[in-house]
Amino acid sequence: MGFMRRSIRLGISKEEKVAGRITTLLSDFTLDLEAIGFYLAKGAPHIIYTRANEVLEAMQYNKEVEQLDRGAYYGNGR
């Protein structure tokens, strides 16, 4: 309950803002994602790769949990 009150008082977190920006950038379907990966691999330090990979793994995990929760909610869970 304390977290909810804090987030309402402070507004959107820094992480939510970054997630929104990433979503906006990736919503441009004219971008060549492989080329972006190429340029990131060439120009960004290895730590950026590691951090991006961590974000993608967290996204995958949370999507799977969401699907499992949805399945249980609709009576499709085992």
For the chain, what are the domain ranges? 2-73
Can you give the pTM of this predicted structure? Answer: 0.69
Question: What is the C-alpha to C-alpha distance for residues 29 and 20, in angstroms, rounded to an integer?
Answer: 16
pLDDT tens digit string along 6-16?
555 678 999 99
Please report, in tens digits, the pLDDT of each residue of the chain (78 residues total). 455 555 556 789 999 999 999 999 999 999 999 999 999 999 999 999 999 999 999 999 999 999 988 887 666 555
DSSP code for 12: S
- In this structure, the dihedral spanned by the alpha carbons of residues 67, 58, 15 and 46, taken in order and rounded to 10 degrees, is -150
Distance from the first to the final alpha carbon of the chain: 30
